[in-house]
Structure 1
Amino acid sequence: MLVTGAAGGLGSATCRVLGAAGARLVVADLADERAGACARELADSGIDAWPVGVDVGDEAQVRRAFANAAERYGAIDAVVNNAAIDITAPIEQLSVADWERIVRTNLTGVFVVARQACLAMAGRGGHIVNIASTASKRAWPNASAYHATKWGVLGLSHALHAELRPRGIKVCAIVAGGMRTPFLLDRFPDIDTTLLQDPRSVALAIRFVLTQPAETVIPEMMVIPMRETSWP
Protein backbone atom coordinates (compact mmCIF):
# COMPACT_ATOMS: atom_id res chain seq x y z
CA MET A 1 0.00 0.00 0.00
CA LEU A 2 1.29 3.45 -0.93
CA VAL A 3 0.37 6.55 1.07
CA THR A 4 1.35 10.01 -0.21
CA GLY A 5 1.96 12.90 2.14
CA ALA A 6 2.66 10.08 4.56
CA ALA A 7 4.82 12.01 7.01
CA GLY A 8 2.12 14.63 7.71
CA GLY A 9 -0.68 14.53 10.25
CA LEU A 10 -3.33 12.52 8.42
CA GLY A 11 -0.71 10.63 6.40
CA SER A 12 1.15 9.35 9.45
CA ALA A 13 -2.11 8.55 11.26
CA THR A 14 -3.25 6.58 8.21
CA CYS A 15 0.03 4.67 8.11
CA ARG A 16 -0.27 3.79 11.79
CA VAL A 17 -3.88 2.61 11.50
CA LEU A 18 -3.35 0.61 8.30
CA GLY A 19 0.00 -0.74 9.45
CA ALA A 20 -1.55 -1.96 12.69
CA ALA A 21 -4.12 -3.77 10.55
CA GLY A 22 -1.31 -5.61 8.74
CA ALA A 23 -0.68 -3.44 5.68
CA ARG A 24 2.84 -3.24 4.27
CA LEU A 25 3.43 0.43 3.61
CA VAL A 26 5.25 2.57 1.10
CA VAL A 27 5.69 5.82 3.05
CA ALA A 28 5.81 8.45 0.30
CA ASP A 29 6.55 12.08 1.08
CA LEU A 30 8.08 15.04 -0.72
CA ALA A 31 10.90 15.22 1.86
CA ASP A 32 13.15 12.15 1.96
CA GLU A 33 14.15 12.75 5.56
CA ARG A 34 10.53 13.07 6.75
CA ALA A 35 9.60 9.87 4.92
CA GLY A 36 12.55 8.09 6.51
CA ALA A 37 11.73 9.31 10.01
CA CYS A 38 8.11 8.25 9.64
CA ALA A 39 9.08 4.81 8.33
CA ARG A 40 11.53 4.29 11.22
CA GLU A 41 8.86 5.22 13.75
CA LEU A 42 6.46 2.76 12.15
CA ALA A 43 9.11 0.04 12.06
CA ASP A 44 9.74 0.58 15.77
CA SER A 45 6.08 -0.35 16.26
CA GLY A 46 6.52 -3.55 14.25
CA ILE A 47 5.01 -2.19 11.03
CA ASP A 48 6.60 -3.07 7.68
CA ALA A 49 7.25 0.37 6.19
CA TRP A 50 9.57 1.53 3.42
CA PRO A 51 10.23 5.25 2.82
CA VAL A 52 10.38 6.96 -0.55
CA GLY A 53 10.83 10.61 -1.44
CA VAL A 54 8.53 11.60 -4.27
CA ASP A 55 7.04 14.73 -5.80
CA VAL A 56 3.54 13.53 -6.69
CA GLY A 57 3.33 16.06 -9.52
CA ASP A 58 6.37 14.55 -11.24
CA GLU A 59 5.34 11.57 -13.36
CA ALA A 60 8.86 10.14 -13.59
CA GLN A 61 9.27 10.19 -9.80
CA VAL A 62 5.87 8.57 -9.26
CA ARG A 63 6.60 5.89 -11.85
CA ARG A 64 9.94 5.16 -10.18
CA ALA A 65 8.32 4.95 -6.74
CA PHE A 66 5.78 2.40 -7.96
CA ALA A 67 8.51 0.37 -9.68
CA ASN A 68 10.67 0.31 -6.55
CA ALA A 69 7.68 -0.57 -4.40
CA ALA A 70 6.81 -3.47 -6.71
CA GLU A 71 10.37 -4.74 -6.39
CA ARG A 72 10.12 -4.70 -2.62
CA TYR A 73 6.54 -5.88 -2.07
CA GLY A 74 5.59 -7.55 -5.34
CA ALA A 75 2.48 -5.48 -6.01
CA ILE A 76 0.67 -2.34 -4.93
CA ASP A 77 -2.98 -3.11 -4.21
CA ALA A 78 -4.03 0.22 -2.68
CA VAL A 79 -3.02 3.88 -2.70
CA VAL A 80 -4.09 6.76 -0.49
CA ASN A 81 -3.73 10.11 -2.26
CA ASN A 82 -3.18 12.37 0.72
CA ALA A 83 -0.47 14.86 -0.31
CA ALA A 84 -1.75 18.44 -0.31
CA ILE A 85 -0.62 22.01 0.27
CA ASP A 86 -2.36 25.37 0.66
CA ILE A 87 -1.53 29.05 0.64
CA THR A 88 -4.09 31.18 2.45
CA ALA A 89 -4.25 34.52 0.67
CA PRO A 90 -6.66 36.82 -1.19
CA ILE A 91 -6.68 36.24 -4.94
CA GLU A 92 -4.85 39.53 -5.56
CA GLN A 93 -1.94 38.26 -3.46
CA LEU A 94 -1.90 34.72 -4.87
CA SER A 95 0.70 34.55 -7.62
CA VAL A 96 0.31 32.41 -10.71
CA ALA A 97 3.34 30.43 -9.54
CA ASP A 98 1.67 29.71 -6.19
CA TRP A 99 -1.57 28.75 -7.95
CA GLU A 100 0.28 26.32 -10.20
CA ARG A 101 2.22 24.82 -7.29
CA ILE A 102 -1.01 24.11 -5.39
CA VAL A 103 -2.70 22.65 -8.46
CA ARG A 104 0.38 20.53 -9.25
CA THR A 105 0.38 18.92 -5.80
CA ASN A 106 -3.29 18.75 -4.91
CA LEU A 107 -4.88 17.84 -8.25
CA THR A 108 -2.28 16.89 -10.84
CA GLY A 109 -0.56 14.78 -8.19
CA VAL A 110 -3.76 12.86 -7.49
CA PHE A 111 -4.19 12.23 -11.22
CA VAL A 112 -0.57 11.12 -11.71
CA VAL A 113 -0.63 8.71 -8.75
CA ALA A 114 -4.08 7.36 -9.70
CA ARG A 115 -2.97 6.83 -13.29
CA GLN A 116 0.11 4.91 -12.18
CA ALA A 117 -2.01 2.91 -9.74
CA CYS A 118 -4.32 1.89 -12.59
CA LEU A 119 -1.35 0.58 -14.54
CA ALA A 120 -0.04 -1.28 -11.48
CA MET A 121 -3.45 -2.78 -10.69
CA ALA A 122 -4.38 -3.79 -14.24
CA GLY A 123 -5.90 -7.24 -14.31
CA ARG A 124 -5.85 -7.55 -10.52
CA GLY A 125 -8.00 -4.76 -9.16
CA GLY A 126 -7.32 -2.65 -6.10
CA HIS A 127 -8.22 0.52 -4.24
CA ILE A 128 -7.62 4.22 -4.81
CA VAL A 129 -8.60 6.50 -1.92
CA ASN A 130 -8.43 10.25 -2.61
CA ILE A 131 -8.48 12.67 0.31
CA ALA A 132 -10.85 15.50 -0.48
CA SER A 133 -12.16 18.01 2.06
CA THR A 134 -15.25 19.91 3.06
CA ALA A 135 -13.51 22.51 0.86
CA SER A 136 -14.83 20.38 -2.03
CA LYS A 137 -18.41 21.09 -0.94
CA ARG A 138 -18.42 24.67 0.34
CA ALA A 139 -16.21 27.72 -0.01
CA TRP A 140 -14.71 30.34 2.29
CA PRO A 141 -12.52 33.38 1.57
CA ASN A 142 -8.79 33.39 0.79
CA ALA A 143 -8.54 29.76 -0.30
CA SER A 144 -9.42 29.90 -4.00
CA ALA A 145 -6.68 27.55 -5.20
CA TYR A 146 -7.31 25.03 -2.44
CA HIS A 147 -11.05 25.00 -3.15
CA ALA A 148 -10.47 24.63 -6.88
CA THR A 149 -8.21 21.64 -6.36
CA LYS A 150 -10.39 19.90 -3.79
CA TRP A 151 -13.51 20.32 -5.93
CA GLY A 152 -11.37 18.86 -8.71
CA VAL A 153 -10.31 15.91 -6.57
CA LEU A 154 -13.94 15.12 -5.77
CA GLY A 155 -14.94 15.31 -9.44
CA LEU A 156 -11.95 13.24 -10.53
CA SER A 157 -12.75 10.61 -7.88
CA HIS A 158 -16.32 10.17 -9.06
CA ALA A 159 -15.20 10.05 -12.70
CA LEU A 160 -12.62 7.37 -11.88
CA HIS A 161 -15.18 5.44 -9.85
CA ALA A 162 -17.41 5.24 -12.93
CA GLU A 163 -14.51 4.41 -15.23
CA LEU A 164 -12.58 1.91 -13.12
CA ARG A 165 -15.29 -0.04 -11.31
CA PRO A 166 -15.73 -2.39 -14.31
CA ARG A 167 -12.00 -3.16 -14.03
CA GLY A 168 -12.25 -4.14 -10.37
CA ILE A 169 -10.60 -0.98 -9.07
CA LYS A 170 -12.50 0.76 -6.27
CA VAL A 171 -12.22 4.54 -6.01
CA CYS A 172 -13.35 6.50 -2.98
CA ALA A 173 -13.22 10.18 -2.05
CA ILE A 174 -12.88 10.88 1.66
CA VAL A 175 -14.41 14.28 2.39
CA ALA A 176 -12.56 15.17 5.59
CA GLY A 177 -13.47 17.99 7.93
CA GLY A 178 -10.95 19.94 9.99
CA MET A 179 -8.32 17.90 11.84
CA ARG A 180 -5.83 18.60 14.60
CA THR A 181 -2.82 18.39 12.28
CA PRO A 182 0.09 20.72 11.43
CA PHE A 183 -1.68 21.50 8.12
CA LEU A 184 -4.09 23.68 10.11
CA LEU A 185 -2.37 24.26 13.45
CA ASP A 186 0.89 25.60 11.99
CA ARG A 187 -0.93 28.18 9.85
CA PHE A 188 -3.69 29.08 12.30
CA PRO A 189 -2.17 28.85 15.81
CA ASP A 190 -5.21 30.55 17.36
CA ILE A 191 -7.72 28.09 15.92
CA ASP A 192 -10.17 26.55 18.37
CA THR A 193 -9.00 22.93 18.49
CA THR A 194 -12.31 21.81 20.00
CA LEU A 195 -13.78 22.40 16.53
CA LEU A 196 -11.35 19.88 15.01
CA GLN A 197 -11.08 16.10 15.01
CA ASP A 198 -8.28 13.65 15.65
CA PRO A 199 -6.77 12.59 12.28
CA ARG A 200 -6.95 9.02 13.53
CA SER A 201 -10.73 9.22 13.16
CA VAL A 202 -10.33 9.91 9.45
CA ALA A 203 -7.69 7.17 9.19
CA LEU A 204 -10.18 4.72 10.69
CA ALA A 205 -12.69 5.74 8.02
CA ILE A 206 -10.07 5.04 5.35
CA ARG A 207 -9.50 1.59 6.86
CA PHE A 208 -13.27 0.98 6.80
CA VAL A 209 -13.45 1.86 3.11
CA LEU A 210 -10.52 -0.43 2.29
CA THR A 211 -11.96 -3.40 4.17
CA GLN A 212 -15.36 -3.59 2.51
CA PRO A 213 -16.31 -6.92 0.89
CA ALA A 214 -15.27 -7.42 -2.73
CA GLU A 215 -18.88 -6.89 -3.85
CA THR A 216 -19.13 -3.44 -2.22
CA VAL A 217 -17.60 -0.04 -3.01
CA ILE A 218 -17.99 3.30 -1.21
CA PRO A 219 -17.54 6.11 -3.77
CA GLU A 220 -17.65 8.93 -1.21
CA MET A 221 -17.55 9.29 2.57
CA MET A 222 -17.71 12.46 4.68
CA VAL A 223 -15.97 12.48 8.07
CA ILE A 224 -16.37 15.68 10.07
CA PRO A 225 -15.99 16.80 13.69
CA MET A 226 -19.15 17.02 15.76
CA ARG A 227 -18.66 20.81 15.93
CA GLU A 228 -17.51 21.26 12.32
CA THR A 229 -17.98 24.91 11.30
CA SER A 230 -17.40 24.48 7.56
CA TRP A 231 -20.41 22.22 7.20
CA PRO A 232 -24.01 22.46 8.53
Structure 2
Amino acid sequence: MKQLNTIEGKVILVTGAARGLGAAICRILSEDGAIMIATDVNASLLEKTVNEITSQGKKAYGYTLNVTDENNVEETVKKIVNDHGKIDVIVNNAGVDYTKSIEELSYKEWRQVIDVNLTGPFIVTKAVYPYMKKNGSGHIINITSTASKRAWPNASAYHASKWGLSGFSHAIHSEARKDKIKVTALVAGGMQTPFLLDRFPDIDLNLLQNPENVAESIRYVLTQPNGSVIPELMVIPMTETSWP
Protein backbone atom coordinates (compact mmCIF):
# COMPACT_ATOMS: atom_id res chain seq x y z
CA MET A 1 0.00 0.00 0.00
CA LYS A 2 1.28 3.44 -0.93
CA GLN A 3 2.39 5.31 2.19
CA LEU A 4 0.80 8.70 2.80
CA ASN A 5 2.93 11.82 2.95
CA THR A 6 3.64 13.63 6.18
CA ILE A 7 3.14 17.31 6.90
CA GLU A 8 5.85 17.35 9.55
CA GLY A 9 8.16 20.29 8.89
CA LYS A 10 5.90 21.74 6.21
CA VAL A 11 5.49 25.53 6.28
CA ILE A 12 1.74 26.11 6.05
CA LEU A 13 0.27 29.60 5.61
CA VAL A 14 -3.36 30.01 6.73
CA THR A 15 -5.33 33.20 6.15
CA GLY A 16 -8.14 34.20 8.50
CA ALA A 17 -6.38 32.23 11.24
CA ALA A 18 -7.36 34.34 14.26
CA ARG A 19 -10.46 32.30 15.08
CA GLY A 20 -13.00 29.81 13.76
CA LEU A 21 -11.94 27.41 11.03
CA GLY A 22 -8.58 29.12 10.47
CA ALA A 23 -7.61 28.68 14.11
CA ALA A 24 -8.81 25.06 14.05
CA ILE A 25 -6.69 24.36 10.96
CA CYS A 26 -3.63 25.75 12.72
CA ARG A 27 -4.28 23.65 15.83
CA ILE A 28 -4.92 20.40 14.00
CA LEU A 29 -2.03 20.63 11.52
CA SER A 30 0.42 21.73 14.21
CA GLU A 31 -0.24 18.41 15.98
CA ASP A 32 1.58 16.62 13.15
CA GLY A 33 4.62 18.87 13.37
CA ALA A 34 3.73 21.39 10.68
CA ILE A 35 5.13 24.92 11.01
CA MET A 36 1.98 27.02 11.08
CA ILE A 37 2.07 30.53 9.63
CA ALA A 38 -1.10 32.06 11.06
CA THR A 39 -2.18 35.28 9.34
CA ASP A 40 -5.09 37.65 9.91
CA VAL A 41 -5.99 41.35 9.94
CA ASN A 42 -6.89 41.08 13.64
CA ALA A 43 -3.50 41.13 15.36
CA SER A 44 -4.74 40.72 18.94
CA LEU A 45 -6.94 37.68 18.23
CA LEU A 46 -4.17 36.23 16.07
CA GLU A 47 -1.71 36.47 18.93
CA LYS A 48 -4.11 34.50 21.13
CA THR A 49 -4.34 31.69 18.57
CA VAL A 50 -0.56 31.53 18.17
CA ASN A 51 0.02 31.50 21.92
CA GLU A 52 -2.50 28.69 22.35
CA ILE A 53 -0.57 26.53 19.89
CA THR A 54 2.94 27.35 21.09
CA SER A 55 1.92 26.73 24.73
CA GLN A 56 1.35 23.11 23.66
CA GLY A 57 4.93 22.89 22.41
CA LYS A 58 3.91 23.17 18.75
CA LYS A 59 5.23 25.58 16.11
CA ALA A 60 3.17 28.61 15.10
CA TYR A 61 4.07 32.14 14.02
CA GLY A 62 1.73 35.08 13.57
CA TYR A 63 1.86 37.66 10.78
CA THR A 64 -0.64 40.48 10.39
CA LEU A 65 -1.96 40.25 6.84
CA ASN A 66 -4.63 42.03 4.80
CA VAL A 67 -5.44 39.71 1.90
CA THR A 68 -7.00 42.56 -0.10
CA ASP A 69 -3.77 44.61 -0.13
CA GLU A 70 -1.37 43.23 -2.72
CA ASN A 71 1.59 45.26 -1.45
CA ASN A 72 1.04 44.06 2.12
CA VAL A 73 0.66 40.47 0.91
CA GLU A 74 3.81 40.54 -1.24
CA GLU A 75 5.89 42.09 1.55
CA THR A 76 4.55 39.66 4.15
CA VAL A 77 5.09 36.61 1.93
CA LYS A 78 8.65 37.73 1.28
CA LYS A 79 9.21 38.09 5.03
CA ILE A 80 7.75 34.64 5.71
CA VAL A 81 10.04 33.05 3.13
CA ASN A 82 13.03 34.92 4.58
CA ASP A 83 12.09 33.77 8.08
CA HIS A 84 11.25 30.14 7.29
CA GLY A 85 12.94 29.40 3.96
CA LYS A 86 9.82 28.40 2.04
CA ILE A 87 6.03 28.15 1.94
CA ASP A 88 4.79 24.63 1.22
CA VAL A 89 1.06 25.13 1.59
CA ILE A 90 -1.47 27.97 1.39
CA VAL A 91 -4.92 27.64 2.93
CA ASN A 92 -7.01 30.53 1.59
CA ASN A 93 -9.55 30.66 4.40
CA ALA A 94 -10.23 34.36 5.15
CA GLY A 95 -13.86 35.26 4.49
CA VAL A 96 -16.63 37.76 5.26
CA ASP A 97 -20.36 37.91 4.61
CA TYR A 98 -23.39 40.16 5.07
CA THR A 99 -26.84 38.66 5.44
CA LYS A 100 -28.69 41.30 3.45
CA SER A 101 -30.97 41.49 0.45
CA ILE A 102 -29.69 43.12 -2.73
CA GLU A 103 -31.77 46.17 -1.81
CA GLU A 104 -30.05 46.47 1.58
CA LEU A 105 -26.52 45.50 0.56
CA SER A 106 -24.33 48.54 -0.04
CA TYR A 107 -21.80 48.90 -2.85
CA LYS A 108 -19.05 49.01 -0.21
CA GLU A 109 -20.22 45.76 1.40
CA TRP A 110 -20.44 44.01 -1.98
CA ARG A 111 -16.88 45.05 -2.83
CA GLN A 112 -15.59 43.97 0.58
CA VAL A 113 -17.04 40.47 0.25
CA ILE A 114 -15.66 40.05 -3.28
CA ASP A 115 -12.29 41.54 -2.29
CA VAL A 116 -11.78 39.32 0.77
CA ASN A 117 -13.36 36.07 -0.44
CA LEU A 118 -12.31 36.04 -4.10
CA THR A 119 -9.66 38.62 -4.88
CA GLY A 120 -7.82 37.81 -1.64
CA PRO A 121 -7.10 34.19 -2.60
CA PHE A 122 -5.90 35.39 -6.02
CA ILE A 123 -3.53 37.92 -4.43
CA VAL A 124 -2.13 35.42 -1.91
CA THR A 125 -1.79 32.67 -4.52
CA LYS A 126 -0.09 35.00 -6.99
CA ALA A 127 2.41 36.13 -4.33
CA VAL A 128 3.34 32.61 -3.20
CA TYR A 129 3.19 30.81 -6.56
CA PRO A 130 6.70 31.77 -7.77
CA TYR A 131 8.25 30.36 -4.59
CA MET A 132 6.34 27.09 -4.95
CA LYS A 133 7.26 26.87 -8.63
CA LYS A 134 10.93 27.41 -7.82
CA ASN A 135 10.78 24.66 -5.16
CA GLY A 136 9.05 22.30 -7.58
CA SER A 137 6.18 21.55 -5.20
CA GLY A 138 3.35 23.12 -3.25
CA HIS A 139 -0.31 22.82 -2.35
CA ILE A 140 -3.00 25.51 -2.49
CA ILE A 141 -6.27 24.87 -0.65
CA ASN A 142 -9.18 27.23 -1.21
CA ILE A 143 -11.99 27.11 1.34
CA THR A 144 -15.16 27.42 -0.67
CA SER A 145 -18.60 26.53 0.69
CA THR A 146 -21.85 24.81 -0.15
CA ALA A 147 -22.65 28.40 -1.18
CA SER A 148 -20.56 27.63 -4.27
CA LYS A 149 -22.96 24.83 -5.22
CA ARG A 150 -26.44 26.24 -4.64
CA ALA A 151 -28.03 29.49 -3.49
CA TRP A 152 -30.33 30.94 -0.87
CA PRO A 153 -31.73 34.47 -0.31
CA ASN A 154 -29.86 37.42 1.21
CA ALA A 155 -26.35 36.22 0.33
CA SER A 156 -25.79 37.39 -3.24
CA ALA A 157 -22.26 38.73 -2.67
CA TYR A 158 -21.23 35.64 -0.71
CA HIS A 159 -22.56 33.29 -3.38
CA ALA A 160 -20.87 35.27 -6.13
CA SER A 161 -17.56 35.20 -4.26
CA LYS A 162 -17.68 31.47 -3.46
CA TRP A 163 -18.85 30.40 -6.93
CA GLY A 164 -16.01 32.55 -8.26
CA LEU A 165 -13.50 31.01 -5.83
CA SER A 166 -14.55 27.53 -6.94
CA GLY A 167 -13.95 28.49 -10.56
CA PHE A 168 -10.62 30.09 -9.69
CA SER A 169 -9.56 27.00 -7.76
CA HIS A 170 -10.33 24.57 -10.58
CA ALA A 171 -8.67 26.86 -13.13
CA ILE A 172 -5.47 27.08 -11.08
CA HIS A 173 -5.60 23.31 -10.53
CA SER A 174 -5.43 22.79 -14.29
CA GLU A 175 -2.73 25.46 -14.66
CA ALA A 176 -0.46 24.50 -11.76
CA ARG A 177 -0.04 20.78 -12.39
CA LYS A 178 2.76 21.46 -14.87
CA ASP A 179 4.69 23.09 -12.00
CA LYS A 180 3.97 20.17 -9.62
CA ILE A 181 1.67 22.32 -7.49
CA LYS A 182 -1.54 20.76 -6.21
CA VAL A 183 -4.75 22.77 -5.85
CA THR A 184 -7.85 21.75 -3.89
CA ALA A 185 -11.24 23.39 -3.44
CA LEU A 186 -12.48 22.42 0.03
CA VAL A 187 -16.28 22.75 0.05
CA ALA A 188 -17.16 23.24 3.71
CA GLY A 189 -20.68 23.03 5.09
CA GLY A 190 -21.96 24.93 8.12
CA MET A 191 -19.60 25.04 11.10
CA GLN A 192 -19.79 25.99 14.77
CA THR A 193 -17.73 29.14 14.27
CA PRO A 194 -18.16 32.88 14.88
CA PHE A 195 -18.66 33.31 11.13
CA LEU A 196 -22.18 31.90 11.54
CA LEU A 197 -22.81 32.25 15.27
CA ASP A 198 -22.13 36.01 15.35
CA ARG A 199 -24.85 36.58 12.74
CA PHE A 200 -27.24 33.81 13.77
CA PRO A 201 -26.93 33.48 17.58
CA ASP A 202 -30.08 31.35 17.79
CA ILE A 203 -28.95 28.78 15.21
CA ASP A 204 -29.24 25.13 16.26
CA LEU A 205 -25.67 23.92 16.92
CA ASN A 206 -26.77 20.38 16.10
CA LEU A 207 -27.09 21.48 12.46
CA LEU A 208 -23.44 22.53 12.34
CA GLN A 209 -20.14 20.64 12.38
CA ASN A 210 -17.10 21.17 14.55
CA PRO A 211 -14.53 23.17 12.52
CA GLU A 212 -11.89 20.67 13.63
CA ASN A 213 -13.67 18.05 11.51
CA VAL A 214 -13.07 20.21 8.45
CA ALA A 215 -9.47 20.80 9.55
CA GLU A 216 -9.00 17.03 9.73
CA SER A 217 -10.14 16.76 6.10
CA ILE A 218 -7.44 19.26 5.15
CA ARG A 219 -4.85 17.07 6.86
CA TYR A 220 -6.18 14.16 4.77
CA VAL A 221 -5.88 16.15 1.53
CA LEU A 222 -2.33 17.23 2.34
CA THR A 223 -1.09 13.72 3.11
CA GLN A 224 -2.06 12.14 -0.21
CA PRO A 225 0.77 10.53 -2.25
CA ASN A 226 2.78 12.80 -4.54
CA GLY A 227 1.28 11.32 -7.70
CA SER A 228 -2.32 12.19 -6.77
CA VAL A 229 -4.33 15.33 -6.14
CA ILE A 230 -7.85 15.92 -4.84
CA PRO A 231 -9.21 18.87 -6.89
CA GLU A 232 -12.37 19.14 -4.78
CA LEU A 233 -13.65 17.71 -1.51
CA MET A 234 -16.97 18.42 0.22
CA VAL A 235 -17.28 18.12 4.01
CA ILE A 236 -20.72 18.82 5.50
CA PRO A 237 -22.53 18.10 8.76
CA MET A 238 -24.72 15.01 8.82
CA THR A 239 -27.67 17.40 9.30
CA GLU A 240 -26.53 19.99 6.72
CA THR A 241 -29.52 22.14 5.72
CA SER A 242 -27.88 23.90 2.74
CA TRP A 243 -27.25 20.65 0.90
CA PRO A 244 -29.55 17.66 0.18
The answer on 1:128 being equivalent to 2:107 is: no
Residue in 1 that maps onto 2:111: 100
1:1-150 aligned at under 5 Å gives the runs: 1-124=12-135, 125-150=137-162
1:159 to 171, 186, 193: 171
Whole-angstrom distance in 2 between the partners of 1:212 and 1:117? 21
TM-score by length of 2: 0.94
Count of aligned residue pairs for this structure pair: 232
The answer on 1:208 being equivalent to 2:220 is: yes
Counterpart of 2:134 in 1: which secondary structure? coil
**Aligned AA for 2:210?**
D
Cα contact 1:117–1:128 (8 A) shared by 2: no
Counterpart of 2:153 in 1: which secondary structure? coil
Q: Percent identity?
A: 53
- RMSD between aligned residues: 0.7
Counterpart of 2:186 in 1: which secondary structure? strand
Counterpart of 2:184 in 1: which secondary structure? strand
1:96-154 CA-partner distances (Å, limit 9, x unpaired): 11100111100000100111121121232100000000000010000000000000010
**Aligned AA for 2:91?**
V
Cα contact 2:147–2:163 (8 A) shared by 1: yes
Residue in 2 that maps onto 1:221: 233
1:46 Cα deviation from its structure 2 partner: 1.1
Cα contact 2:187–2:234 (8 A) shared by 1: yes
1:8 Cα deviation from its structure 2 partner: 1.9
TM-score by length of 1: 0.98
Whole-angstrom distance in 1 between the partners of 2:16 and 2:233? 20
Whole-angstrom distance in 1 between the partners of 2:78 and 2:128? 11
1:52 Cα deviation from its structure 2 partner: 0.7
**Aligned AA for 2:82?**
E
Whole-angstrom distance in 1 between the partners of 2:21 and 2:28? 10
Stretches of structure 1 that go unaligned for 5 or more consecutive residues are: none
Residue in 2 that maps onto 1:174: 186
Whole-angstrom distance in 2 between the partners of 1:5 and 1:171? 19
Whole-angstrom distance in 1 between the partners of 2:54 and 2:149? 37
**Aligned AA for 1:64?**
E
Stretches of structure 2 that go unaligned for 5 or more consecutive residues are: 1-11
**Aligned AA for 2:143?**
I
